[in-house]
Amino acid sequence: MTNNKEVLKWINEITELTKPSEIIWIDGSEEQKKEIYRKALESGDLMELNQEKLPGCYLHRSNPKDTARVEDRTFICLPTKEDVGPTNNWFEPEEAKSRMNKLFNGVYSGRTMYIIPFIMGHPNSEFGKIGFEITDSLYVVASMMIMTRVGKVATDMLKDSIDFVKGLHSVGTLDEKEKYILHFPEEKSIISVNSGYGGNALLGKKCLSLRIASYLAQKENWLAEHMLILGIQAPNGDTKYVAAAFPSACGKTNLAMINPPKEFEGYKTFTIGDDIAWLRIGEDGRLWAVNPEAGFFGVAPGTSHKSNYNMMETISKNTIYTNVLQTEDNTVWWEGMTDTPPEKGTDWKGQPWTPESGEKGAHPNSRFTAPAKQCPCVSPEFDNPNGVPISAIIFGGRRSKGVPLVYEAMNWEHGVFTGASLCSETTAAAEGNMGRLRHDPMAMLPFCGYNMGDYFAHWLKMGDLVENPPKIFHVNWFGKDDDGNFLWPGFSDNFRILDWIMKRCENKAEYTETALGYMPYAKDINIEGTGLDEETFDKCLALDKEALLQSADSYDEFFKDFDRLPQKIKEQISNYRKRVENM
C-alpha cells in the first residue's frame, strides 16, 4: 500500500519486536470491511444484533475490568516533568520505551497484526494529520473504520512525507498493573498496551486528536480542542458556527445535535462535530474549525429520543454498541433510553438481567460508535477541507447556585480565563462528594499533551494572532432552586440562549455589565413556550455573591500548583475576586 521508507522501516521494527503470525494492511475497501466483520463475529469480538430492527449493528462486550479511560495509567513522555506540568502524569521517554520494549516483545505471537493507515481531518487539507495504528484487536480495526478515514486514502495523501503519527497498540494480557497509554509528543508517537477500551485503544481519538495534536498546535500556532462544532442557520439563510467545550455530564453531545424549539420557526441547526475541533487562522483573520473525526463515540446511558433525537436516529444503523444491555429481541437498551425498562435481557457482563436484579443493565460508560454522516442534522460543510468560520466559543459547566444561564467574556483575555477556570460540581455518583467543585480547564484537563500553564499562554498568544477572534461565552444549564429543582428546562430550549449569543456576535443584542461579564436582559431571551414565569427566569440569570466567592477560593487553590501560570491569568484571578467583592 505504500513505498514510504520511513513507514516501512518503522513497521519492520515493530514486526521484529512483536512477532505476529500474520500481517494485514487495512485498505479501506468495503470488501475488506466485510471480511473484518466476519472475523470479528467468528472470534466473538462482535455479536450480530437484530438486522431488521438495527441494520448493520453489532454488540461488543469488553472485559469487565476494562471499561473506561484510565487517567492514572495515561502518561506524557516529554524530557522533563516540568514540560508535562502539574495536571499530567510524567514518564521519562527512554525509560518508557525500555518498559514498552519488554511488554511488546513477542506480544503478537500467534496473533494477527493489523496496520491501519488513517487521516484525522480531511484528505488533502492543511488541517489533516496522518497516522498509523498497529493493533491486534479486531474491535479496534472495526471501530477505526467508523471513527476515521482509513486505508489507501491516507497513504496516498502521505506519499513520501515523514510527517505522520506512529501508533502502537495491543490488548496484551489486560494486566491492570501493566496497563499503559503513553504519548511521545516530540516524536509524534503513541503506545498503548493491556487495554481494549475505546479511549485507550482507538489511538486516533483522544491520544492523537487532543494529546499529540495540542502539542503540535502550540508549535504550529493553531488549537486542538475538546469542543463540539455546531452551525446555526437563521431564516434568511445566514449560517454562523460555534465551538463549545463542556466537561463530562454537562450536555455537550446534546448541544451538538440540538433542534430549535417550535417558537423559532425557520431556524435550522447543523452538526459538524460532537467532541473535537481543530481551529486554524484563516486568510480572513478568523478562526476556522474542522472536526477531525469521521464518527461519533458517544456515551449511551441518558441518550434517548427526548434528550437527543438526532443521535438516536444516527445510531439506528451501522453502529457498534459496547457494554449495553442486549434485549430478548436482540436489540439494545440502556438506562435512560426509555421510561420503562425491558422485562429481561442480558447485561453488559453477559449475565441474565431483570429490572429487579439490582444491577445496571448497561455499564455507566457504555458506548456507541456510529458514522457521523448518518446524523439527520449533519452539516453540508462536514467534508469541507477548509472547515467553517467560528463566530463564538462557548464554555459550559454544571453549577447549581450563583452562576447564571449565560454571560459573555469582556475580551479575549477574560475569555481565556473563563475557559481556564471552567469547573463543575460533582454529583453523588462522582467521587462521592456532592457539590464539590471539580476543575476542568477548557474541558481539556485529561487531554492536554504538555504543561497546562504553557497551554494557557498559547491561548493568550492566539488572541494576538487572530485578527478577528470569536467572542467567548459561558453557559450553565444546571441552576437549581432551593428545593433542588432545575430552573431551566434545558434540551432544545438551550437554543434560546444560542440565539442571544448569535445576536451578540453581531452586536445586535443589548447587555448589562456584571462581575462575571456581559449578561443579557431578561427581555432579550425568548422564553415563550418554556412554561417559565418571569420570576423563575430571573433566578436563571441571578448572581450569588457567596457562591462566586467560593469559586474565587477554588481558583486560588487550583491554580497555586501551576508553576508556569501566565501573569495575565494571575491578574484575571485577582480581578475576578475584586469584582465579586464589590458586587
User: pLDDT tens for residues 261-317?
Assistant: 999 999 999 999 999 999 999 999 999 999 999 999 999 999 999 999 999 999 999
Say how far apart CA 38 and CA 293 lie, in whole Å.
Answer: 25
62 located within any domain: no
User: Could you tell me if residue 398 is inside a domain?
Assistant: yes
Same domain, yes or no: 398 and 328? no
Model pLDDT for residues 128-139, shown as the tens digit of each residue = 999 999 999 999
- What's the CA gap between 147 and 274, in Å, rounded? 12
Last residue of a domain, one of 220, 250, 279: 220
- Residue 340 binned pLDDT confidence (cut-offs 50, 70, 90): very high
| pLDDT over 70 percentage in the chain | 98
Give the angle subtended at the CA of 561 by the CAs of 557 and 566, to the nearest 5°: 100
Q: How many residues does the chain have?
A: 583
Quickly list DSSP for 99-147.
HHHHHHTTTTTTSEEEEEEEEES-TT-TT-EEEEEEES-HHHHHHHHHH
Is the domain of 201 the same as that of 83? yes
Question: 194, 220, 246: which is the final residue of a domain?
Answer: 220
Q: Is residue 361 part of a domain?
A: yes
Q: Residue 64: inside a domain, yes or no?
A: no
Helix (H, G, I), strand (E, B) or coil at 288: strand
Where does the pLDDT of residue 521 fall: very low under 50, low under 70, confident under 90, or very high at 90 and above? very high
Average confidence score pLDDT of the chain: 96
- Distance separating alpha carbons of residues 278 and 387, to the nearest angstrom: 9
Instruction: Answer yes or no: do 29 and 98 share one domain.
Output: yes
How many domains are there within the chain? 3
Same domain, 352 and 399: no
- pLDDT of 385 higher than 60: yes
pLDDT above 50: residue 58: yes
Same domain, 109 and 249: no
Same domain, 310 and 445: no
Q: Which residues of 220-256 are buried (b: 16+ CB within 10 A; e: fewer)?
A: eebbbbbbbbbbbbeeeeebbbbbbbbbeebbbbbbb
Per-residue pLDDT at 427: 57
Q: Is 540 a catalytic residue?
A: no
Of the residues 57, 77, 207, 250, only one is catalytic, namely 250
What is the DSSP secondary-structure string of 320-359?
A: EEESPEEETTS-EE-TTSSSS--S-EE-TTS-EE-GGGSS
> Where among 315, 342, 374 does a domain terminate?
374
pLDDT per residue as tens digits for the range 199-210: 999 999 999 999
Residues 347 and 246 grouped into a single domain:
no
User: Of 266, 293, 259, 263, whose CA–CA distance to 278 is shortest?
Assistant: 293
Co-location of 140 and 37 in the same domain? yes
Domain shared by 289 and 303, yes or no: no
CA-nearest of 455, 366, 383, 510 to 66 is 366
- Strands of 332-333's sheet in order across: 332-333, 325-327, 345-346, 352-353
Question: What range defines the domain where residue 264 resides?
Answer: 225-294+380-581
18: helix, strand or coil: helix
We report the CATH number of the domain holding residue 463 as 3.90.228.20
Write down the pTM of the prediction: 0.97
Give the per-residue pLDDT at 572.
Answer: 98
Identify whether residues 530 and 411 lie together within a single domain: yes
How far does Cα 61 stand from its chain's mean position? 22
CATH number for position 34: 3.40.449.10
Pair (488, 523) in one structural domain: yes
Same domain? For 438 and 539 the reply is yes
The CATH number of residue 302's host domain is 2.170.8.10
Residue 390 falls inside a structural domain: yes
